[in-house]
Amino acid sequence: MSERWRGVLAALTNPDLRTVLAEAMHGAAIPDARRRRAIARLVELGLVREAADGGVQFDDAAVRGILNENPPVKRSGPGRFLDAEGRIDRYPAGQTEREELLRWIADRTFKAGEVLSEKETNERLALLTADVAVLRRHLVDAGLLERTRSGSEYARVESTER
């Protein structure tokens, strides 16, 4: 999930960036009635406020307030169990959902036929969780990852079922 909107809003709080953006967007003047409706909408959204001289002024505080909000992100699938940084924030209680999350992790973390040392395996899993041992154990228990005969390496289990 992209957090690009935060960068766009943050750019709007920078006066230099706003000036360049306004220059780039400068077009033909609009009729007064349309201008009044546009101003009313921008005031309603909290992006501008009416100035004492009758003009409008950009409201940095409103944009900063939006940036500080933490809107709930409706996620589906395995993404429901990841935080904003894409790390596991909880494991699903249900077996089906847990298997779906683990399959999703295995598919994105390990390639078929690839054999990794425990250290390499842990480094990859560390991108997803602080407790790599628990995640590694879940992947092994789910039959998605296996220890090699020597016990010092891990490999993605190739499955024909999906």
Tens of pLDDT, residue by residue over 70-121, are 655 566 788 889 887 889 999 999 999 999 999 999 999 999 889 999 999 9
Residue finishing a domain among 46, 68, 90: 68
- Average pLDDT score over residue span 116-129: 94
Quote the pLDDT of residue 3: 64
| Angstrom distance (rounded) from CA 99 to CA 78 | 10
Predicted confidence at residue 104, as pLDDT, reads 93
Say if pTM beats, i.e. exceeds, 0.75. no
Taking the C-alpha atoms of residue 109 and residue 103, their distance in angstroms, rounded to an integer, is: 10
Highest mean pLDDT among 7-21, 54-68, 105-119: 105-119
Query: How do the residues of the chain divide into helix, strand and coil, expressed in percent and rounded to 5?
Result: 50, 10, 40
Q: What is the domain extent for residue 126?
A: 78-156
Q: Which of 18, 35, 68 is the last residue of a domain?
A: 68
Select the more confidently predicted residue: 153 or 14: 153
The partner residues of 117 in beta bridges, in order of sequence, read: 153
Q: Are residues 84 and 152 in the same domain?
A: yes
**Are residues 45 and 82 located together in one domain of the fold?**
no
Give the pLDDT score at 113.
87
Q: Is the pLDDT of residue 124 over 80?
A: yes
What is the count of structural domains for the chain?
2
Whether pLDDT at 136 is above 90:
yes
pLDDT confidence of residue 123? 94
Task: Please give the share of the chain, as a percent, with pLDDT higher than 70.
Answer: 92
